[in-house]
Structure 1
């Protein structure tokens, strides 16, 4: 979103309310498809970005993280927390906000909520990986873990990959009932009583559970040949969802290896365990799906470039909509060297 010189002192801010207005203005499936397009563009120019594992502050209750990156022209970061215990207290597990800034001036050009946007981005990323790696004729997915992300995941795979049926399971039947109700009329939904039932006939399996522990949501004998797995719930140290034997039977694809080795499913295996970064498949340097019996596994933990892709999508959609507020974030003295004078004149105006 370009900013007129007269408005340089203001930063567009997208609140939660305005993010929801923007989603309805564009359409939830259309918005995730648009973010997916940006993800593909940015993964194809992966080498242009600064890359660093997220800066994490862990506590017994959860984690608070900063996720920065830059492509040399635009800088972006996201602040995000992950507190699984929050659900029991009536709070969101994840909250987030993000910022884009112009590298040339250092001025921020967008501030946005990213609780809703992260849900859209995460689902778009799973769909992007599925599009690249899954069997081409896939029509059915299993969604194990029916929390706040589940509906987004199902609709993203519908919009981007052509998934028609989602088979849902959660240890809490009320979560499945809620998600199934939200998806009613949008796609075929089958509510299941066990993980084994959920994966029957599914070509794509997505796991997205919240507990911060080493868990075994999928055992080795549950995973047959030819499927694609999106393992997106294991996203911090000490939190996994798959039995490690599944990893040895799969070709594993990741976003950024140094981060995933600490946070992803592959934290269960040695540093010499071979993985492929997704951008390598897009560049042709490495192969994705080779044959119909191959198990492909996207070990997704979320990476800063994905948030950058989502934020620039929002920035580009705002122009002409008015679906944002102007924040007075930047000091704008008449003389850039006279910040004190600006403060003094403000005092005179008050008096």
Structure 2
């Protein structure tokens, strides 16, 4: 069934599995559980390119109905070593959240910089439908979101040249997603970690994309149409300066976001048209930290729902100040839940919530059989 494609972007909600005990009011609600091994198995069964396209389809659908969602900036707890975040949102029928960390120094001890867990629940009764590892899925949805923006915001007369600055855990996913949606011909890349560049080059070579190693970020910028930054260092960095750029370029700033961490110089932001997912969150965590509050930004959902031009002039720089927003995880979880219905062997079925004879007698249900 590898490569099988399902149309998921029109799926709002699937009824949870229920089992009725004959002769009683006992109601058993089934929840799906997926650990990282099961998620990996499902992605390999479906095919990564197919999954990316399905996630993009769902993102398009959900961003078109932006007003249908209850939204808030993510809740974050900060530690000297990193950040721990909770990202909730909901429409009229489904609720989701993702718990995710960002600890750049983890890789020094063989741990992931970013690990995530997600939950999808039924709004009507509040019962959980799906609990899963979202570490790979976060990489997929981040890449899908970037590729979708590149698809319609890249310079009109581009030559299929992508630049990647920061070739860590997220980078190959971005190239895979961009290749799926955009006529990518060559990828220029650089990182301060030579081993990370070697690994990235090996992955890109399997995708049929030409790759060119660069020594500096400026060299990358001068060679491409679209630039993606994917750095993790928690500091106000200026990886890209105005003097590095060519007219009309698109910059996708994707590196992990939190207060005190940026990738672009303030001058680049001030001279660019800035696209954001959810401005209240981006002001706290994104490149907008380097800009005054009155700096104009353009919300992605407004741009795609209206005739607002991405550029006023072909030479305008455009920055996608991506911080990752909860609706993107909602879209990812709905796609996953839909796929499970076709690949039920990829998940574990659990009776997660107690099934009780009398929902008003929780104590009595606990004491049964004691």
Tell me if TM exceeds 0.5: yes
User: Which residue pairs with 2:309 in the alignment?
Assistant: 287
Instruction: Please identify, of 133-142 and 236-245, the stretch whose mean Cα deviation from structure 2 is larger.
Output: 133-142
How many angstroms apart in 1 are the aligned matches of 2:137 and 2:255? 17
How many angstroms apart in 1 are the aligned matches of 2:63 and 2:16? 27
How many angstroms apart in 2 are the aligned matches of 1:272 and 1:122? 28
User: Which residue pairs with 1:141 in the alignment?
Assistant: 162
How many angstroms apart in 2 are the aligned matches of 1:251 and 1:212? 25
Please list, as runs of the form range in 1=range in 2, the aligned pairs for 1:332-343 lying within 5 A after superposition. Answer: 332-343=355-366
How many angstroms apart in 2 are the aligned matches of 1:13 and 1:328? 10
User: Which residue pairs with 1:6 in the alignment?
Assistant: 19
User: Which consecutive residues of structure 2, in runs of 5 or more, have no partner in the other structure?
Assistant: 1-13, 21-27
User: Which residue pairs with 1:330 in the alignment?
Assistant: 353
**Partner-residue secondary structure (3-state), 1:69:** strand
Match of 2:187 among 166, 178, 182: 166
Instruction: Please identify, of 133-142 and 67-76, the stretch whose mean Cα deviation from structure 2 is larger.
Output: 133-142
Deviation at 1:345, TM superposition (A): 2.2
Instruction: Please identify, of 185-194 and 153-162, the stretch whose mean Cα deviation from structure 2 is larger.
Output: 185-194
> Is 1:262 the counterpart of 2:284 in the alignment?
yes
Deviation at 1:223, TM superposition (A): 1.1
User: Which residue pairs with 2:8 in the alignment?
Assistant: none
Q: 2:18–2:30: 8 Å Cα contact kept in structure 1?
A: no
Deviation at 1:266, TM superposition (A): 0.8
Instruction: Please identify, of 223-232 and 4-13, the stretch whose mean Cα deviation from structure 2 is larger.
Output: 4-13
How many angstroms apart in 1 are the aligned matches of 2:260 and 2:243? 23
Deviation at 1:172, TM superposition (A): 0.7
How many angstroms apart in 1 are the aligned matches of 2:157 and 2:54? 22
Match of 2:226 among 204, 208, 214: 204
Deviation at 1:290, TM superposition (A): 4.1
How many angstroms apart in 1 are the aligned matches of 2:353 and 2:29? 5
> Is 1:56 the counterpart of 2:76 in the alignment?
yes
Please list, as runs of the form range in 1=range in 2, the aligned pairs for 1:225-236 lying within 5 A after superposition. Answer: 225-233=247-255, 235-236=257-258
User: Which residue pairs with 2:11 in the alignment?
Assistant: none
Q: 1:118 and 1:346, CA in 2 relative to 1: closer, same or farther beyond 3 A?
A: farther
Deviation at 1:137, TM superposition (A): 4.6
Q: 1:234–1:264: 8 Å Cα contact kept in structure 2?
A: no
How many angstroms apart in 2 are the aligned matches of 1:289 and 1:160? 21
Q: 1:137 and 1:315, CA in 2 relative to 1: closer, same or farther beyond 3 A?
A: farther
User: Which residue pairs with 1:220 in the alignment?
Assistant: 242
Instruction: Please identify, of 132-141 and 47-56, the stretch whose mean Cα deviation from structure 2 is larger.
Output: 132-141
Q: 1:96 and 1:229, CA in 2 relative to 1: closer, same or farther beyond 3 A?
A: same
Q: 1:254–1:276: 8 Å Cα contact kept in structure 2?
A: yes
How many angstroms apart in 1 are the aligned matches of 2:369 and 2:262? 54
**Partner-residue secondary structure (3-state), 1:337:** coil
**Partner-residue secondary structure (3-state), 2:52:** helix
Match of 2:90 among 66, 70, 86: 70
Q: Deviations over 1:102-150 (max 9, x none)?
A: 1111011111111110000111111112123112453110000000000
**Partner-residue secondary structure (3-state), 2:119:** strand
**Partner-residue secondary structure (3-state), 2:215:** coil
Q: How many equivalent residue pairs? A: 347
**Partner-residue secondary structure (3-state), 1:316:** helix
Q: 1:122 and 1:65, CA in 2 relative to 1: closer, same or farther beyond 3 A?
A: same
Q: Normalization by structure 2: what TM-score?
A: 0.91
How many angstroms apart in 1 are the aligned matches of 2:312 and 2:120? 38
> Is 1:272 the counterpart of 2:294 in the alignment?
yes
User: Which consecutive residues of structure 1, in runs of 5 or more, have no partner in the other structure?
Assistant: none
Deviation at 1:292, TM superposition (A): 2.6
Deviation at 1:234, TM superposition (A): 5.2
> Is 1:309 the counterpart of 2:331 in the alignment?
yes
Deviation at 1:342, TM superposition (A): 2.3
